[in-house]
Amino acid sequence: MSTARFALFVDLENCGAKVTTLNSILEKVKIRGDILLGKVYGYTDSYKDLKELLLSNTFQVVPSIRYGISQKNNADILLVVDALEVAYTNPLIDSFCIVSGDSDYTPLVGRLKSMGKFVLGISRSEVASSIFINACNEFQFLESVKSTARVSRSRKKSAGADETQDLSALGKLIESILAGQADDEMYASELKGVLLRLQPDFNEKAYGCATFGKLLNRLAQEEKVISVKSDNYNVLVSLNQEATARSAATLTQANWKQAFAEQLSHYKDDGFERINPSILKADIQAAYPDFQEKSLGLKRFSDVLKELEKSGVLKLDTDEQNNLLVRII
């Protein structure tokens, strides 16, 4: 299986420019392939918290020069010019990720696709244009592109033992990687390649294992989130569906409002103020697979939202096109 080679173009204004959010975007793309080129647009001193992340990922930075009302258009045009230049001059890059939901980028997407390039779009649901969404080969809402787990950089020390990495965090990271695959499984060699893209200093010896295969077997036995099997002379890693099903949480009349409040709190922590209701429903269904409006005594998801608004959990709002949005409070 060949590894995709990405050029990543980020509209900072669109993504909210938080370290956690940009990290999540990088993780999403790195799971899919190598990022050969990264560029961010609209950088100002207010985004100084991003400096270390941008430098460590070798991003090129285009500053925001504030002059008149055409400022945003200038940045948009520059992104289009840069993307087309890369497409025509760098044959190594076969995939593009555009972090913006602006419909003005639709002609760019069309040109890239006509050149045989794969285009992944990512944007906040609040501002994502349906035209741009449908033009991309694949589109992800930014609220759903979150890092479900990160291997802790901190070391854990036990009495009389060498320092080791957090095995549980690694298990959750591998679980999130496998969950993003079409068939929920990968060859071990491919999985290690993804881990190295996400964390270049990854080493199985930091977990007390001599080989990657032994580390996978340990994860399967102790964390029980993955299954490992041999396929001829290769090792296949897949999600442990039985363990996932057993650990699935359940919504009840007693806890459902708290569950929604906690999910909205995650969005707020990531810098989102308003989201599309479909994003909220999808994330609730992912966390609680048995979720149904009827089990809560309600008919439609809009009724769920209205009940939550009455309880002060959220506010309902609309955009300029009169589409329903959830305002996080």
- 26-65 pLDDT, tens digit per residue, is 999 999 999 999 999 988 888 889 999 999 999 999 887 6
Query: Which segments of 116-187 does DSSP mark as H helices, in order?
Result: 130-135, 167-179
Do 177 and 133 touch, CB atoms closer than 8 A?
no
Residues in contact with 51: Cβ distance below 8 Å, sequence separation at least 6, in sequence order: none
* pLDDT of amino acid 169: 87
Spatial distance between the Cα atoms of 93 and 85, rounded to a whole number of angstroms: 11
Tokens describing residue 157: 């020390």
Please report, rounded to a whole number, the percentage of residues in the chain having pLDDT higher than 90. Answer: 54
Other C-beta atoms within 10 Å of 67: how many? 8
Residue 154 per-residue DSSP state: S
* pLDDT of amino acid 165: 65
Spatial distance between the Cα atoms of 225 and 172, rounded to a whole number of angstroms: 8
Spatial distance between the Cα atoms of 271 and 50, rounded to a whole number of angstroms: 14
Spatial distance between the Cα atoms of 180 and 32, rounded to a whole number of angstroms: 9
Dihedral pair phi/psi, residue 161, rounded to 5°: -120, 160
Do 266 and 144 touch, CB atoms closer than 8 A?
no
CATH fold of 167-246: Arc Repressor Mutant, subunit A (1.10.10)
* pLDDT of amino acid 286: 83
What pLDDT, in 10s, does the model give residues 122-171?
Answer: 998 888 888 999 999 999 998 887 644 443 343 344 433 444 568 888 98
Residues in contact with 97: Cβ distance below 8 Å, sequence separation at least 6, in sequence order: 6, 7, 8, 9, 25, 29, 119, 120, 121, 122
Spatial distance between the Cα atoms of 172 and 249, rounded to a whole number of angstroms: 16
CATH fold of 4-144: Rossmann fold (3.40.50)
Q: Which residues of the chain have pLDDT under 70?
A: 1, 65-73, 146-165, 243-248
The residue among 312, 309, 255, 260 whose CA lies nearest residue 282 is: 260
End-to-end CA distance of the chain: 45
CA distance to 12, 17, 30, 100, 318, per residue, from 274 (Å): 17, 16, 27, 16, 10
Q: Per-domain residue ranges for the chain? A: 4-144, 167-246, 248-328
CA dihedral 55, 59, 64, 69 (to 10 degrees): -150
Residues in contact with 206: Cβ distance below 8 Å, sequence separation at least 6, in sequence order: 164, 165
* pLDDT of amino acid 244: 62
| Whole-number average pLDDT of the chain | 86
Tokens describing residue 225: 């989130």
* pLDDT of amino acid 251: 87
* pLDDT of amino acid 161: 42
Spatial distance between the Cα atoms of 286 and 282, rounded to a whole number of angstroms: 6
